[in-house]
Amino acid sequence: MRAETFSGYEGLKLIELPKPAVTKAKLLVRITAAGVTPLDHTILSGKFHGSKAPLVLGNEGAGVVEQGGGTDFPVGSRVMFFGTYGAFEDGTDSEWVAVRKEDLCLIPDNVDDVSAAGIPVAYLTAQVALTLAGFRAGKTVLAPAIGGSIGNAVTQLARALGAKHAMSSTTNHAKAEQAKALGFNEVVDTSSEKLGDGVRRITSGYGADIVIDGVGGEVLSEALGVLALGGSLTTLGYSASRKTTIDVTNLIVPQASIRGLNMFAQPKAAITDAWKVIVSLLKAGAIKPIVAKTFPLVEAAAALRYLVEGRPFGRVVLTI
C-alpha cells in the first residue's frame, strides 16, 4: 500500500513493486504484520518534514528473514524492527522490506508476530524517553493516554522497572474502566477529574518526577502543573495539538524542565540498550503489548482512520 500523494486517506493505493534488493548492509524480511502509527497519518496529511511521495508507509513491523541473514539473524528468524522505513524510505505496509541489520531485533518466542509488529516504535520510544529523563526505580511517572501506544508503553515499562507510581490518563470513561479491568490502577479519568487533581490524589500531593507526553495541547500544559521538585516533562508527540500555552511558574517554582525527543535522532547505542531492557521484560512477561484490532493490508486507510478517529485501547496492526 503506497501513498501516491500526501493528500489524505485517498492517497493510499495497492500497487505492485519489485522485491527490494538485498545488499551487504540490508537483508530481506518477508513482512507478516505492520504496526499502524500516528506518524503514518502525519505523513499522509503532508505534515511531516522530509518525507517524499510516492512512499510506502509503515514505520515498524514484524516478519521472517528470507535472504541475507548471516549468523545473527539466520534465514527463517522472526524479527521486529523500526527505523527510517515509512518516513524516509519505503516502509512496512508491504510484503517485503530490505532492513538494515542494526534495526532488527529477534522476537521472543512468547510474543506473536501481530503483537511484535506494534512493539518497536512504542516501546523503544518509551524506554529511550525514560532513560533520557533519568528514570530509576522509586521515581514517580506520568504518561498521558493509557490506551495510546506511548502512554501505555511508558506506563507498563515504568511499572515493570519499579516506579513508585506509574500513572496515566484518558479522556474517555469507558477506556478508564477498560484500563482498570486490565490492571492499570493509576489512571486519571479526565472526563470526571482534572489531570492535576488526579495525579495529586494518587501521589498524596507529591506530583510527578517524570512526565512523558505524546498528546500535547492542554494535556501538556496541565501535566506541567504536576511536576515535582526538579522534575521534567518530555514532549514527543501531538495527538491532540502541536500548540499549547504554558504557565511558566509551573517550571520556575519546582525548577523543572521541558525537553523534546526525536526517535529519528537517537544514537545506535541508545536503541541497542533499549532493546535489551524491552526483550528481557517481554520474555519475563513483565510487559504485555496490547493489540486492539487487526486489518488486512488492503484496508490500510481504514486501519489508520480507526487509529486516529476511533482512538482505540491498544495497537492497530495490519496483517500481510
Ligand X SMILES: NC(=O)c1ccc[n+]([C@@H]2O[C@H](COP(=O)([O-])OP(=O)(O)OC[C@H]3O[C@@H](n4cnc5c(N)ncnc54)[C@H](OP(=O)(O)O)[C@@H]3O)[C@@H](O)[C@H]2O)c1
Q: Among residues 288 and 311, whose Cβ is nearest to ligand X?
A: 311
Residue 175 interacts with ligand X (CB under 6 A): yes or no: yes
Q: What is the sign, positive or negative, of the torsion defined by CA atoms of 287, 291, 296, 302?
A: negative
Distance (Å, whole) CA 44 – CA 8: 5
**Residues 10-69 interacting with ligand X (rule: CB under 6 A):** 37-39, 42
C-beta of residue 35 within 8 angstroms of C-beta of residue 317: yes
Options 115, 172, 234, 250; binder of ligand X; rule CB under 6 A: 172
Q: Point out which span in 2-10, 91-99, 194-202, 230-238 binds ligand X (CB under 6 A).
A: 230-238
Among 92, 94, 115, 125, binds ligand X (CB under 6 A): 125
Q: Cα–Cα distance between 118 and 180 in angstroms, integer?
A: 22
**Residue with Cβ nearer ligand X (86 or 147):** 147
Member of 1, 105, 116, 240 binding ligand X (CB under 6 A): 240
Beta bridge partners, 257, equal 232
Nearer Cβ to ligand X, position 68 or 214?
Answer: 214
Taking CB under 6 A as the criterion, the residue among 212, 220, 261, 271 binding ligand X is 261
CB of 307 to ligand X, least distance (A): 5
According to CB under 6 A, which one of 233, 307, 317, 318 is a site residue for ligand X?
Answer: 307
CA dihedral 89, 118, 73, 265 (to 10 degrees): 50
For ligand X, which residue of 94, 171, 178, 232 counts as binding (CB under 6 A)? 171
Among 65, 219, 279, 304, binds ligand X (CB under 6 A): 219
* Residue 311 binding ligand X, by CB under 6 A: yes
Stretch that binds ligand X, among 7-15, 23-31, 90-98, 260-268 (CB under 6 A): 260-268
How many Å apart are CA 16 and CA 223, to the nearest integer?
46
170 binds ligand X (CB under 6 A): yes
- Which residues of this protein are in contact with ligand X, per CB under 6 A? 37-39, 42, 121, 125, 145, 147-151, 170-172, 175, 214-215, 219, 236-240, 261-263, 307, 311
